[in-house]
Amino acid sequence: MSQQKILIIPGDGIGAEVTEWGKQALQAIGEIFGHRFTFDYALLGHAAIEATGSPLPEETLAKARESAAILFGAIGHPKYDNDPSAKVRPEQGLLGLRKALGLYCNIRPIQLFDELIGASSLKPEVLRGADILFFRELTGDVYFGQPRGRTEDGLTAYDTMIYSKYEVERIACKAFEAARLRRKKVHSVDKANVLDSSRLWRETVNEVAKDYPDVALHHMFIDTAAMALIKDPRQFDVVLTGNLFGDILTDEASQIAGSMGMLASASIGDSTGFYEPIHGSAPDIAGKGIANPMASILSAGMLLSYAFGLHAEAAAIQKAVALTLKQGWRTGDIADGNTPADRILGTAEIGKKIVENIIQVTQAVAA
Annotated catalytic residue 223: yes
Residue 146, pLDDT above cutoff 60? yes
pLDDT of residue 232: 93
Which of 224, 257, 290 is the last residue in one of the domains? 257
Question: Is 336 annotated in the active site?
Answer: no
Using pLDDT thresholds of 50, 70 and 90, give the confidence band for residue 364: low
pLDDT exceeds cutoff 60 at 289: yes
pLDDT of residue 251: 86
Mean pLDDT computed over 317-344: 94
User: How many Cα atoms occupy the beta-carbon half-sphere of 181 within 13 Å?
Assistant: 5
Asked whether the predicted pLDDT for residue 367 surpasses 60, the reply is: no
Give the integer Cα–Cα distance in Å for 140 and 170. Answer: 12
Q: State the catalytic residue, choosing from 40, 131, 159, 251.
A: 251
- Catalytic choice (12, 23, 141, 143): 143
Do both 5 and 128 map to the same domain? no
CATH number at residue 210: 3.40.718.10
Burial class (CB in 10 A: 0-12, 13-18, 19+), 354: buried
Q: In terms of pLDDT, which residue wins out, 86 or 240?
A: 240
Q: Is 212 a catalytic residue?
A: no
Is pLDDT above 80 for 2?
no
pLDDT averaged over every residue in the chain = 93
**Is 342 an active-site residue?**
no
Whether residues 173 and 131 share a domain: the answer is: yes
pLDDT for residue 1? 61
- Per-residue pLDDT at 101: 95
Tell me: the pLDDT tens digits for 153-200?
A: 999 999 999 999 999 999 999 999 999 999 999 999 999 999 999 999
pLDDT at 67: 97
pTM: 0.89
pLDDT > 70: what percent of the chain?
98
Alpha helices in the chain (DSSP H): 15-33, 46-52, 58-66, 78-81, 90-101, 124-127, 165-180, 196-209, 222-231, 243-252, 254-257, 294-308, 311-326, 347-366
Residue 366 has pLDDT above 60, yes or no: no
Task: Supply the pLDDT for residue 260.
Answer: 76
Residues 232 and 181 grouped into a single domain: yes
Domain that holds residue 301: 1-119+260-367
Could you tell me if 134 and 230 lie in one domain? yes
Q: Is 43 left (phi over 0), alpha (psi -120 to 50) or beta?
A: beta
Indicate which residue of 63, 80, 141, 191 is catalytic: 191
The answer on 322 and 210 residing in a single domain is: no
pLDDT at position 257 over 80: no
pLDDT band at 119 (very low <50, low <70, confident <90, very high): confident
Q: Which of 10, 97, 98 is nearest to 56 (CA)?
A: 97
Indicate if 252 and 134 belong to the same structural domain: yes
Residues 197 and 280 in one domain: no
> 179 and 81 in one domain?
no
Judged by average pLDDT, the poorest of 16-25, 30-39, 126-135, 286-295 is 126-135
Whether 144 and 185 map to the same domain: the answer is yes
Average pLDDT over residues 84-105: 90
Q: Which of 257, 276, 298 is the C-terminal boundary of a domain?
A: 257
Last residue of a domain, one of 257, 273, 306: 257
Q: Name the band, by pLDDT with cuts 50, 70 and 90, for residue 85.
A: confident
Quote the number of domains for the chain. 2
Q: Examine the domain organization and report whether 238 and 344 are in the same domain.
A: no
Decide the pairing of beta strands 185-190 and 216-221.
parallel
pLDDT top residue among 336 and 69:
69
Which pLDDT band, with edges at 50, 70 and 90, does 244 fall under? Answer: very high
Annotated catalytic residue, options 81, 114, 211, 223: 223
Q: Are residues 280 and 206 part of one domain?
A: no
For residues 48 and 259, the model is more confident at 48
Candidates 190, 247, 319, 333; catalytic one:
247
pLDDT for residue 118 is more than 80? no
At residue 238, φ and ψ (nearest 5 deg) are: -105, 130
State whether 220 and 104 are in the same domain: no
Does residue 122 have a pLDDT over 80? no
β-sheet bridge partners, residue 238? 133, 186
Question: Is 284 marked active-site?
Answer: no
